[in-house]
Amino acid sequence: MKVDEIRDRFLRFFKERGHKVYPSDSLVPANDPTLLFTGAGMNQFKEEFMGRVKGAKRAVTCQKCLRTGDLENVGKTPDHHTFFEMLGNFSFGDYFKKEAIEWAWEFLTKELGLKESDLWVSVYKDDDEAYKIWKDNIKVPSERILKLDAKDNFWPADAPSEGPNGPCGPCSEIFYGGPDGVEVWNLVFTQFDRHDGGRLEPLPNKNIDTGMGIERIARVMQGKDTNFQIDS
């Protein structure tokens, strides 16, 4: 399956589930002085996540992103880039963990046809709610559900202790090919606003922010060893 088809299927899948399709935002954010480049799909929705802007309750995008934090890994690993495209679905005070997890699983296993037995997941160690959904609703065996700390399963990583300030929350990641395989999708349950000193205050609404690198899922779908071998 080629990149263009994956992109089209993703946008259509979530549009059919009540999400408004938004265009990719500029790589250089026009109205966010805290960012030099757009590094994630959620960047253009910060005001919605904070509850300061009322608009569509569900959104879906394919966001062009630029990141410099992984420069030392570019060219050394099979899956790091400076520029990439991020598929993402978002909820602003509408649905939460149950729907986000169920739809992610449905898209990967039904829409894309990946084998359930090839998929592993991780959750934040204290997120019993997400663990229960994966185990009881999705029926993922407990041995394929990893409980990890804030460095691996909180977004931003280590946000409670290290920052930065702003929207954050526990996350759940989906891997293809085992726990050391390709991380294809990150589901972030954005429910806190971090302040100085590590103080976490609940946001006005519980939100969903997901991100799936299109190059990574294309690599899986095309059976390639690295992201740099795909069709785009």
Residue closest to 44 by CA, chosen among 102, 80, 86: 86
Question: Which pLDDT score is estimated for 68?
Answer: 86
Pairing of strands 199-213, 182-195: antiparallel
Question: Which pLDDT score is estimated for 16?
Answer: 99
pTM over 0.85: yes
Q: The domain spanning residue 49 has which CATH number?
A: 3.30.930.10
Calculate the CA dihedral of residues 114, 176, 137, 17 and round it to 10 degrees: -60
Is 56 buried (19+), middle (13-18) or exposed (0-12) by CB count in 10 A?
A: middle
Question: Which pLDDT score is estimated for 8?
Answer: 99
Number of structural domains (the chain) is: 1
Q: What is the mean pLDDT of each run of 10 residues along the chain (232 residues)?
A: 98 99 93 87 86 89 91 88 95 97 99 99 97 99 97 91 89 97 96 91 91 98 96 88
Question: Which pLDDT score is estimated for 127?
Answer: 95
* Domain enclosing residue 150, as ranges: 3-229
